[in-house]
Amino acid sequence: MTRVNFMTSLITHTEKNKSCYLKLFSMHRKFCLSMNFLHPRNINMKETKKENNKEEIDDNNVLSTMIRNGNVNNLNIKDYLSIINPQYNEICPKKYLRKVNKTLDLSYLVTEKDGKNFVNLIIDDLSKNMTFVAEANPGTGELTKNLLKAGIRNVYVYEPNECFFPVLYKLQDKYPNRLEIRKGNILQMSKLYFMDMQDNKQRINEILKDVPYTSWEDKSCMQVIGTTTDSVFLKHLIWSVVFRTSFMSRGRTSFYLAIKPSVWNILNYPQKKARMHFFYIMYQTLFDCKDLGNVKRLSYIPWPKHLLKQNSKNNDNTFLNVVKIEPKPYLLNNELKPSQIISYWYFVKYHLKSTSQRIIPELEKWIPGCGIRLIEKNYNIFTRFVDLTPLEFLKLYKDFTSWPEYESSLFLSSACSYIQIVNRNIGSGDVLNLRNENISNK
């Protein structure tokens, strides 16, 4: 068989026929690509770029090469797990073994390496208070075993899928009297809360069994560790603090969570969208939030589609932030009275329905003529609620509630009506403990 010299043919025909030149050039390039000579990932322009793109997965050279070359989007989760953690392919529900567009009910950490990294990030802070350490959705226990190795005396794991129980039982045998296994998804407390209200069962109390009752100013009564990519959970935390239900029914609960960078940004930085700015205002007012580090997104299943696709605005597909979120212990004493917290929540929620809502026109609806007072405090007719910082929002609320017309204003009637609607939608009237709540601060 005669060997074809593409480059010689290319030079010979270039001057005669440009179309032939292009055709031969294309043939030559395809040939080289097929032999992996000209693959862009094999051309390292700078050594620093090579180091930055490198993913440290030591379990298998082939897999490591695929990830380093940016081929993860073509990587099958099952192939990845067969090297990293084969037992997941055998026992894990199939819905977690594929790439998904939408957020599922939970995520599983599948690498012991990032389980160790996660624990290293939180252990110094966690060791200060280990009243009731709860891990959400442990799966095969990659995080659990590292918590136990780090010296956590007792770990309560909440796992909704019983297929993982045999693996967890083996871990329980290895660490006798230190690991308790419970069935359930503790990060779906909002769903359990709603279900309890519908059928009057005690799912929440069962989840919180053995969690001690503490005063709000004391150390947290529970320390929850896990991963969530669901904003519903973070919304439920606001609800829990405001109405002292669910996680906060026995005192303050602290959380060590792996969350998406985009979600972390919403909780900590001003937002252009009103609904997102509501999260920012409430979290900065009600919670202490601390970024402890990050772990690889690749270590959690299911994967989102286009796992390593870069986004200029965030890094959701490359890593997760490991953060601590804890309700402020002295919020009620220093900033808000207990009888004000519900009305403050409604004040923020109502006035952040739209980015176009302006302070003076909106508050004039509640208390006619109050615009002059607001102008004296350097607000103008164009100042919007979405322009306010958390401290400015709180100060505006405290000014608003200090006016003599406040207690007879339409604002309180609106707030009470909204709360009654919420009660009816959830179930029995006392579930939010609002029937006797004096939100008017009389």
**Nearest-angstrom CA–CA distance, 152 and 141:** 14
> 123 CB contacts (<8 Å, ≥6 apart)?
150
Neighbour tally for 258: CB within 10 Å: 27
- Residues in the annotated binding site: 109, 159
Q: To 5 degrees, how large is the angle CA 270–CA 273–CA 279?
A: 60
Question: Dihedral sign, CA of 329, 228, 87, 184?
Answer: positive
> 412 CB contacts (<8 Å, ≥6 apart)?
343, 406, 439, 440
**415 close to 343: Cβ distance less than 8 angstroms:** yes
Residue 185 token pair? 């998804």
- Residues in the annotated binding site for S-adenosyl-L-methionine: 109, 159
Residue 344 token pair? 């403050």
Return the amino acid letter for 339.
S
Closest residue by Cα to residue 422 from 408, 411, 432, 410 = 432
Number of residues assigned to the chain: 442
